[in-house]
Amino acid sequence: MTDGSEERGWVEARVGQTGFRSDITARQHRLTADEPESVGGSDAGPTPYEYLLMALATCTAMTMRSYANRKSWPLESATVFVRQSRSHMQDCEDCETKPVGIGRIERKIEMEGDLSDEQRARLIEIADRCPIKQSLTRGLQLEPVSP
């Protein structure tokens, strides 16, 4: 391919004939996603929504780290907590007839280091500039590609 897709790569998720366990591959990394036993899964890994939350939390922390490094600020650590504001269990059952999704994510950030109040406030502002957060809030288009 000459469109640069080699650099962007594909993330692959494969589910079998039964259950919800999915084997995921991203570059050389292998992960597992699943649903809790209470909804028919085997709880072999995080749910897809939990992976979405992990991506947001990780990107937020990395964005804060990058900015603090550029400014040579004494950020020792940043811990980002995120959670969905409602249960998503009905989403698959309702997806054919209703708009679904978590709709709202709650976030809490803790920082360690000898930072001034101004630096802490600026890092919170920078947290909102994380590319994953911006992608989610701007909206996404999913483009089908022929096999």
SS3 (DSSP) at 12: strand
CA separation for the pair 83, 138 (Å, rounded): 19
What one-letter code names the amino acid at 78? A
Q: How many structural domains does the chain have?
A: 2
Say which CATH number the domain at 115 has. Answer: 3.30.300.20
In terms of domains, do 61 and 21 share one? no
Residue 144 lies in a domain: no
- How high is the pLDDT of residue 2? 44
In terms of domains, do 58 and 88 share one? yes
> What confidence category does residue 63 fall into, taking pLDDT thresholds of 50, 70 and 90?
very high
In terms of domains, do 33 and 92 share one? no
In terms of domains, do 53 and 68 share one? yes
Question: Which pTM was predicted?
Answer: 0.84
Alpha helices (H) along the chain: 5-8, 48-71, 91-94, 117-127, 131-138
In terms of domains, do 28 and 56 share one? no
**pLDDT (tens digit per residue) in 12-27:** 999 998 899 999 999 9
For residue 120, give the nearest of 85, 71, 83, 87 by alpha carbon.
Answer: 71
In terms of domains, do 76 and 88 share one? yes
Residue 146 lies in a domain: no
Inform me whether the pLDDT recorded for 111 exceeds 60. yes
Domain residues for the domain of 59 are 47-138
In terms of domains, do 54 and 20 share one? no
In terms of domains, do 74 and 29 share one? no
Residue 147 lies in a domain: no
